[in-house]
Amino acid sequence: MPREFIESLMSVHPFSDAIQSDFFSRLRIAKVSKGKLLLTQRDVCDKLWYVKTGLVRGFSSTDNANRNSDDITEWFAREKNFFNCTKSFVDQIAANESIEVLEPSELIYINRNDLYELYFKYPEVCNVARLIAERYWIIYKDKLRDLRFRSAQERIEHFSVQSKDLFNRVPQKHIASYLGISENYVSKIRTKR
């Protein structure tokens, strides 16, 4: 039962039984294996996901001078996190990032059309979505500030303290690309711990 999805929303603002029932009827569960791509660049994102168990990441691929593709990790989503490719989801355009499952995961999702129907039908759902979006915006701004104003050492130390579970779960190459530092530097910090 996808109860966790609704409970996360209701931690922001309670919903009536009617809204909960309508939401439940639209939610789906997916058990996904490690390495699976939920979305690839150039696809259109049509789902809002929630992590019940497991771990996923969003990343962009760029071609470097040698014509090899480098992945740049944009974000991680772990238990109790919502995720999607926001620009693609909202504007219904090709995604500029891919979404990869890093651990076997149980995910809950709602299709975009169903979610937008709920927005129009229940103003309180719209309000909760806005409040959650504001929280994620703050997280994004904090990350941007960290990348601009913290040294590589400060970024990795901050990440290892603030996201200790991710520091131990995520492959170091993804942590390095997320923080904009070398993989060797992440390895040195992990070894010290």
Q: Which of 108, 134, 160 is the last residue of a domain?
A: 134
Task: Please indicate, yes or no, whether the overall pTM of this predicted structure exceeds 0.85.
Answer: yes
Say whether both 183 and 101 belong to one domain. no
Q: Do 10 and 70 have their domain in common?
A: yes
Question: Is 121 found in the same domain as 81?
Answer: yes
Residues 165 and 90 grouped into a single domain = no
Alpha carbons within 13 angstroms on the beta-carbon side of residue 43 total 14
Q: Are residues 154 and 129 in the same domain?
A: no
Q: How far apart are CA 116 and CA 125, in angstroms?
A: 10
Judged on CB neighbours under 10 Å (0-12, 13-18, 19+), 176 is buried
Are residue 187 and residue 120 in the same domain, yes or no? no
Residue 163, domain extent: 150-193
**Cβ-contact 84, 140 below 8 angstroms:** no
Q: Are residues 30 and 68 in the same domain?
A: yes
Domain assignment present for residue 140? The answer is no
If pLDDT is split at 50, 70 and 90, which confidence band does 3 have? confident
> pLDDT band at 65, cuts 50/70/90?
low
Task: Tell me whether residue 143 is in a domain.
Answer: no
Please provide the DSSP assignment of 89-150 as one string.
HHHT-B-SSEEEE-S-EEEEEEEHHHHHHHHHH-HHHHHHHHHHHHHHHHHHHHHHHHHHHS
Residue 100 exposure: Cα atoms within 13 Å on the Cβ side: 18
Domain's final residue, options 87, 105, 134: 134
What percent of the chain is predicted at pLDDT more than 90? 62
Whole-angstrom Cα Rg for the chain = 18
Q: What is the CATH number of the domain that holds 93?
A: 2.60.120.10
**Does a structural domain hold residue 144?**
no
Q: Does 178 fall in a domain?
A: yes
CA dist., res. 83 & res. 50, Å (int): 6
Per-residue model confidence (pLDDT) at position 51: 97
Q: Is residue 19 located within the same domain as residue 58?
A: yes
Task: Indicate the number of domains in the chain.
Answer: 2
**Segment 115-162, tens digit of pLDDT:** 999 999 999 999 999 999 999 899 889 888 888 898 888 898 889 888
Specify whether 106 is located in the same domain as 180: no
